[in-house]
A and B are shown apart, each in its own frame.
Chain A
């Protein structure tokens, strides 16, 4: 007896992930039941109402990424999904605790997490003094010198989040560099954000809190120097519970390259951004808040 909903259906594996066997063995054991077309159901997974929850979880998981169609993603997308996976495991967001209780094989040992971290690192090798980025930066710099202040813009993302030319007058809340995607960043916060951080009102951040992150492709040198290269994007998070109820109040935007081209054809891109930011749910969904004093060494 199955009531109305159809149980989880499997589909062909058309573009499987290509990774070392020690990596795919872990993924197949721990992740494939939700994140692939090769879901193996236990008998209790097929009985309503549990089957309804299974159906929902598997559909959501496959929409996030699917190992059976993995190779249809661009290399950059594959790389960023792997880093996202590693971070979801490290922050104990994955496997879902409800799932792991009945499926202990989904839990990863420290050694297995290490294997996935090493694999993620291998997808992002350092390229020293990348002349492509150096040349792009030099070209942009010559043009930036001539016209250092952006002309008045009415740039808006598909979800209504506007570009904010004034951010350079805000306080810098943090600076970061990433070795997973070779970027260096400056993160600015408006007055509401700065006060929220100082008063620990970050769970949740108050409405009106806005964060602007400027991202440059980094130029890495053998002596350890990491310098900003060409502009990658200007990214925005702004809090408005009324406008963005499905993403805990956060509206996201990304304006790509020196021409600030808005990312996302429809407002649905907001969900893509939010899904990754779930890994920072303990900090109000913001990754780059300053460290607490106790963590400063």
Chain B
């Protein structure tokens, strides 16, 4: 009788633990871009990177004008991830480890670059890229078409 009681307790406990809170190794990170939305995404197979360029409404308008018509108040955020195999579908790559987060904001008449976290991409010789060059590179990406 005691064993049956213990068995019932174990079954109840086991069934209530079907979705335990994840421990650290099993958590899944989701980058929070706050109020910014996606302008475009792109990847590079040789560098094994996947990137998302976010922006606020002013930034999106600037991008849609092919970066010609510039107002103040633009906020761009480029997040670069390591490209990882998507283990749930062979044939697919998915964003892996976050490598860097860079922000471009507009300050009256000029654009200000900041590395928020991680290591900024370097050039083909492994040299650091200047803030001006990073801005130019980031703002060379055409917005994705959204319906």
Q: Which residues of A are interface residues toward B (Cβ below 8 A)?
A: 83, 86-87, 90-91, 117, 120, 124, 137, 140-141, 144-145, 148, 150, 168-169, 171-181, 184-186, 189, 194, 197-203, 214, 216, 220, 223-228, 230-231, 234, 255, 258-260, 279-280, 282-283, 287-297
Q: Which of B18, B28, B46 has the most CB of A within 10 A?
A: B28
Given the contacts A87-B90, A172-B38, A295-B84, A140 and B145 also touching, CB distance less than 8 Å:
yes
Given the contacts A148-B64, A177-B93, A228 and B42 also touching, CB distance less than 8 Å:
yes
Residue of A nearest to B37 (CB): A168
Question: Closest CB of chain B to A126's CB: distance in Å?
Answer: 9
| Those of B28-46 within 8 Å (CB) of chain A | 28-33, 37-38, 40-46
B92 and A177 form a contact (CB under 8 A): yes
B130 within 8 A of A: no
Q: Which residues of B are interface residues toward A (Cβ below 8 A)?
A: 18-22, 24-33, 37-38, 40-47, 50, 52, 60, 64, 81-84, 86-97, 142-147
B84 and A224 form a contact (CB under 8 A): no
A224 and B44 form a contact (CB under 8 A): yes
B96 and A225 form a contact (CB under 8 A): no
Q: Determine the chain B residues whose CB is within 8 A of the CB of A202 once the complex forms.
A: 19
A216 and B96 form a contact (CB under 8 A): no
A226 and B24 form a contact (CB under 8 A): no
User: Which of B44, B82, B95, B142 is A174 in contact with, Cβ under 8 Å?
Assistant: B95
Q: Determine the chain B residues whose CB is within 8 A of the CB of A296 once the complex forms.
A: 29, 82, 84, 96-97
B91 and A150 form a contact (CB under 8 A): no
B28 and A225 form a contact (CB under 8 A): no
Given the contacts A175-B41, A177-B43, A223-B46, A214 and B146 also touching, CB distance less than 8 Å:
yes
Given the contacts A86-B90, A172-B31, A148 and B146 also touching, CB distance less than 8 Å:
yes
A120 and B91 form a contact (CB under 8 A): yes
User: Which of A197, A230, A293, A295 is B87 in contact with, Cβ under 8 Å?
Assistant: A295
Q: Determine the chain A residues whose CB is within 8 A of the CB of B97 once the complex forms.
A: 296-297
B42 and A171 form a contact (CB under 8 A): no
Question: Closest CB of chain A to B44's CB: distance in Å?
Answer: 5
User: Which of B20, B33, B91 is A181 in contact with, Cβ under 8 Å?
Assistant: B91
